[in-house]
Amino acid sequence: MKKAIPILIAVLSGLLVLAALIWQPQLEGWLEVMLNWAVIIASMAALVALATLLLAHTRKIIKVRHGFIYSLILVVAFLVSFAGGMTAGVENPNYLHWIAAIQQPAEASLLGLAALVMAAASLRLFHQRGWSALTVSFGISALVFLMLGLGWLQALQIPQLDIVIGYLEALPLVGMRGLLIGMGLGALLLGFRIVLGLERPYGE
């Protein structure tokens, strides 16, 4: 019984959404009720997750565990943001400007760091893997697409070159299409398994 109830809820929800795609006017009310419940439960889950996060980091600070300084920064940043939003309002321009001044450079730096890490990894790739089909194809394709990204070759306006560039630019699109087809098939199969109760991503 303990296992049957979650399976029953999941199967009924899936079947209801599928049926609503076909009989939308008739089942729209039921679908909205189900969505309301889902939104409430998801909001509660988010609050519980937030409380758990704060408790875990507060515990770490109190016990002065290794790396507690990061927990301290997290908790203080949360409290300040929370207090600012509650007092000034989340749509206050000053408050938004203040948040933007922190978040934007932080995220941009993170992306820059990711680019640096990738560059360093490409350096190590050749030294650690040596000359192989993988490394050579990686190096050549990376160089080609970086060059295309600069746009200088396209600016030359040579018709034959444009044909080659068009062919090269279509390659990632073809690969992505294959990936999307695979993802779609996988999602379809997973949906069937969930509806049939064979797959239980919500736990046993």
Q: Which chain residues interact with other proteins by CB under 8 A? A: 20-21, 24, 28, 31-32, 35-36, 38-39, 42-43, 90-91, 93, 96-97, 99-100, 103-104, 107-108, 110-111, 115, 118-119, 122-123, 125-127, 130-131, 139, 142-143, 146-147, 149-152, 154-155, 157, 162, 172-173, 175-177, 180
Output the smallest distance, CB 76 to other proteins, in A.
Answer: 19
Nearer to other proteins, 164 or 176 (CB): 176
* DSSP summary character for residue 23: S
With DSSP H G I counted as helix, E B as strand and the rest as coil, what are the percentages for the chain, rounded to 5?
85, 0, 15
CA 179 to chain CA mean position, Å: 17
Nearer to other proteins, 139 or 197 (CB): 139
Instruction: Give 59's Cβ-side CA count (13 Å radius).
Output: 6
Is residue 162 a contact partner of residue 152, using CB atoms and an 8 Å limit?
no
Nearer to other proteins, 69 or 150 (CB): 150
Inter-residue long-range contacts of 12-20, CB under 8 Å, 24+ positions, other chains counted? 14/191, 14/194, 14/195, 15/195, 18/195
Output the smallest distance, CB 54 to other proteins, in A.
Answer: 17
The amino acid at residue 155 is: A
Nearer to other proteins, 59 or 192 (CB): 192
Output the smallest distance, CB 61 to other proteins, in A.
Answer: 25
